[in-house]
Amino acid sequence: MKIEYPAFLESINASSLHVLSDENKHKLFDIHHHEAFNLDASVFRSYEEGRHLYIVHSGEFSLVLKNGVSKFMKRGAIFGEVATLEQLPRLGTVISQSEQSSLITFSHADLAASGLLPEQKQPNLLQVLFSNTVSYLHELLDTSIETLLKQGE
């Protein structure tokens, strides 16, 4: 299912992707999907294969990392990018915390085909997503990025 462009753009602009060009926002719109979730529904679990990245469109979700650290995510939050972009297992579990919540989703295959990933010489999206990941890992964990890399996170 798709959502209308103005609603899509509101969620994109609430996220760290607001820095993308209008052209790249349109590319994302063309490949997006919209998924609805009920309270306590699982989006994905630790160690599952990552094929999609997500932006919270409505409601609230919780991310619980393998080490037990939790983060609550609201509209504009991006998650799932590490596993999706690197084709790695998920680093945590995401559960809906709202009666009605929804996500904008993008598959790795669609992102690659759209020309938005580095293999296609478009590193802008990747830079924004990794910046997002580094900020929430640093926020959640009382450790340095160097230590995280050594631990394989």
pTM of the predicted protein model: 0.77
The helix or strand, by DSSP H or E, that contains position 134, with its residue range, turns out to be helix 124-140
> What pLDDT does 2 receive?
87
Predicted pLDDT at 116: 80
pLDDT average per 10 residues of sequence, the chain (153 residues) = 89 86 91 96 92 94 89 92 81 94 94 74 56 58 53 50
pLDDT for residue 93: 95
> Which of these, 75, 65, 67, lies nearest to 98 by C-alpha position?
75
